[in-house]
Amino acid sequence: MTQTDTAVRLEDITKRFPGVVANDNVDLHVERGSVHALLGENGAGKTTLMNVLYGLYQPNSGRVVVDGEPREFDSPRDAIDAGIGMIHQHFMLVDTMTVAENIALGNEPRKWGGLAVDREAARREVVELSERYGFDVDPDQTIADVSVGVQQRVEILKALYRGADVLILDEPTAVLTPQEVEDLFGVLDELTDQGKTVIFITHKLGEAMHAADDVTVLRDGENVGTVDADETTREELAELMVGREVVLDVESTPPDVGETVLDVDSLSVLDDRDVPAVTDVSFAVREGEVFGVAGVDGNGQAELVEAITGLREPEAGTVEFDGRDFTDAPRRERIDGGMAYIPEDRQERGLVMDFDLVENGILGSQHGEPFAGSGTIDWDASREHAEAIVEEYDVRPPNADNDAVSLSGGNQQKFIVGREFERDPRLVVATHPTRGVDIGSQEFIHDRLLELRDEGRGVLLVSSKLDEVQGLSDRLAVMHDGDVMAVVDPDDVTEEELGLLMAGEHPEGYEPRSERDAKGVAQ
């Protein structure tokens, strides 16, 4: 690669934080007009390195070269002026403003001698930009009314509007459905076809291989190799990521099922708009099995789980847990009864972001033994508990005094998973348990779920990752539009059949499920 072919060159970048070397003499060369994946475990230094390129951090040593010119960025404004744009994992959009207003925000064209914003001119510029790159966005829709995939396109357009030639995407697929992921990859192809350069931060092997031209792997803050995406394998990338051979496929033994631990009967649930989200759903989860729920996000899975875990009142039907009617039971009773819960939104439902890990580690258990007695919290026991989770579940940085907000999304997830698994539960309700975590942690979480199953616990697994939910589940319910289309054997159903069921269609020759299938009663 010649210097003229290089859009970005990072040379010997070192970035230190108190007690942590996040980047250790990292080199990175990104070819102009390419998609370059930056792959690594959570905490490997990927986002820190890109924050250096974007001017959010200044390196302790090393050099940033853009278009052959050494640059020093004291702020993101300097990086933007040099043609660098960054789309963060959590979008920075104003819900009540339109698409066009969000894109132009802070850079609006002016009229009347600069006294007023020229909204029509801004709208025209956004329409032209959208058409140039083949983006399907309505400039007049408010952000609150568009899908997550469209919001991401708005963020990309916002960077392009400011003149970005190099786009950094931080874990761009973490909140997208499979269809939106494919749409995003089409967007990346269009961008590079028109000469833009994309750096794509990810921990997902398949996406790196599918979307990127080249893949650079970081491990423990160091560059451990750059490979051509077409000339590597998932196994090779996984070994580079974690420094050891990784088992990528879930290995499960036949279940040894016992009594019913969760019985959902004729459950109907309304969403936040009082519109039916779940309609007359019935199923049971037994001791010693993983009962999976698959489906495209937004088909009632979230509301179903909220009704089971006590976060949403059902419209009709019952929820029995361990033989008792828990339909109207408060959240605390479910926790005390042995129901663990890994929520879909880790920041909204799983953690108090301003609390440290010691405090977050006892959430839901702070009112009783072993963490409380005589009306006070035993902070020594609480600290010991948090430190054990941090060590066992490899939470980085390994400091229980850190606030939750200071952790990466993947490390927040690992801490929640550890807290819930360590409750000694009768039932684990796991919603997207590996969303945003690296390949090594996924393997660990999958193994722990199967260990809990083999110990006789019940597991209700909800995931939008078909390979995960199909690989882990003993029985698999497929949801569409608030209804269970079928309960299938994951080993017998094909990917095509699952796709049809997820789209609301029954495969040819398929016999609709019966109540007995859903409840797991032998035929």
Is the per-residue pLDDT at 517 higher than 70?
no
- What are the pLDDT digits (tens) for 327-336? 999 999 999 9
Instruction: Report the candidate in 434, 482, 456 with the shortest Cα–Cα distance to residue 307.
Output: 482
Mean of pLDDT values over 135-159 = 88
Q: What is the pLDDT of residue 179?
A: 67
Q: What is the pLDDT of residue 515?
A: 43
Q: What is the pLDDT of residue 404?
A: 95
Query: In the predicted model, what is the mean pLDDT of the chain?
Result: 89
- What are the pLDDT digits (tens) for 249-294? 777 788 899 999 999 999 999 999 999 999 999 999 999 999 999 9
User: Percent of the chain having pLDDT more than 90?
Assistant: 62
pLDDT band at 391 (very low <50, low <70, confident <90, very high): very high
pLDDT band at 509 (very low <50, low <70, confident <90, very high): low
Q: What is the pLDDT of residue 522?
A: 35
Cα angle at 304 between 298 and 307, to 5 degrees?
135
Number of continuous H segments (helices) and E segments (strands) in the chain: 17, 24
For residue 192, what are the CA distances in angstroms to 123, 134, 179, 189, 212?
25, 13, 20, 5, 11
Q: What is the pLDDT of residue 442?
A: 84
CA distance 479 to 206: 25
pLDDT band at 421 (very low <50, low <70, confident <90, very high): very high
pLDDT band at 204 (very low <50, low <70, confident <90, very high): confident
pLDDT band at 510 (very low <50, low <70, confident <90, very high): low
pTM given for the model: 0.70
**Residue 23 and residue 221 in contact, taking contact as beta carbons nearer than 8 Å:** yes
**Residue 353 and residue 347 in contact, taking contact as beta carbons nearer than 8 Å:** yes
- What are the pLDDT digits (tens) for 294-305? 987 788 999 999
Higher pLDDT, 88 or 308: 308
Higher pLDDT, 92 or 511: 92
Is the per-residue pLDDT at 405 higher than 80?
yes
Is the per-residue pLDDT at 174 higher than 80?
no
Is the per-residue pLDDT at 474 higher than 80?
yes
CA distance 403 to 355: 5
**Residue 215 and residue 39 in contact, taking contact as beta carbons nearer than 8 Å:** yes
pLDDT band at 437 (very low <50, low <70, confident <90, very high): confident
Domains of the chain (ranges plus CATH)? 3-242 (3.40.50.300), 247-338+425-523 (3.40.50.300), 352-424 (no CATH)
Is the per-residue pLDDT at 495 higher than 70?
yes
Residues sharing a CB contact under 8 Å with residue 405, sequence separation 6 or more, in sequence order? 353, 354
For residue 386, what are the CA distances in angstroms to 85, 358, 363?
37, 5, 11
Is the per-residue pLDDT at 516 higher than 50?
no
CA distance 116 to 50: 36
- Token reading at 242: 């974690």
Q: What is the pLDDT of residue 232?
A: 94
CA distance 446 to 433: 9
Mean of pLDDT values over 340-348 = 92
Strand order in the sheet with 290-294: 339-342, 427-431, 458-462, 290-294, 475-480, 483-488
Residue 293, classified by CB atoms within 10 Å of its CB into exposed (0-12), middle (13-18) or buried (19+), is: buried
**Residue 137 and residue 153 in contact, taking contact as beta carbons nearer than 8 Å:** yes
The amino acid that residue 203 corresponds to is H
Q: What is the pLDDT of residue 521?
A: 41
Residues sharing a CB contact under 8 Å with residue 349, sequence separation 6 or more, in sequence order? 311, 343
Instruction: Report the candidate in 223, 248, 235 with the shortest Cα–Cα distance to residue 40.
Output: 223
User: Percent of the chain having pLDDT more than 70?
Assistant: 95
Q: What is the pLDDT of residue 412?
A: 92
Select, from the ranges 64-73, 101-110, 122-131, the one with the highest average predicted confidence (pLDDT): 64-73
Q: What is the pLDDT of residue 520?
A: 52
Is the per-residue pLDDT at 518 higher than 60?
no
CA distance 26 to 221: 8
SS3 state at 111: strand
Is the per-residue pLDDT at 386 higher than 90?
yes
SS3 state at 349: helix
Is the per-residue pLDDT at 523 higher than 50?
no
Half-sphere exposure of 147 toward its Cβ, with a 13 Å CA cutoff?
A: 14
- Token reading at 25: 């003499």
**Residue 502 and residue 480 in contact, taking contact as beta carbons nearer than 8 Å:** yes
**Residue 5 and residue 197 in contact, taking contact as beta carbons nearer than 8 Å:** no
pLDDT band at 237 (very low <50, low <70, confident <90, very high): very high
User: How far is residue 397 CA from its own chain's centroid?
Assistant: 19
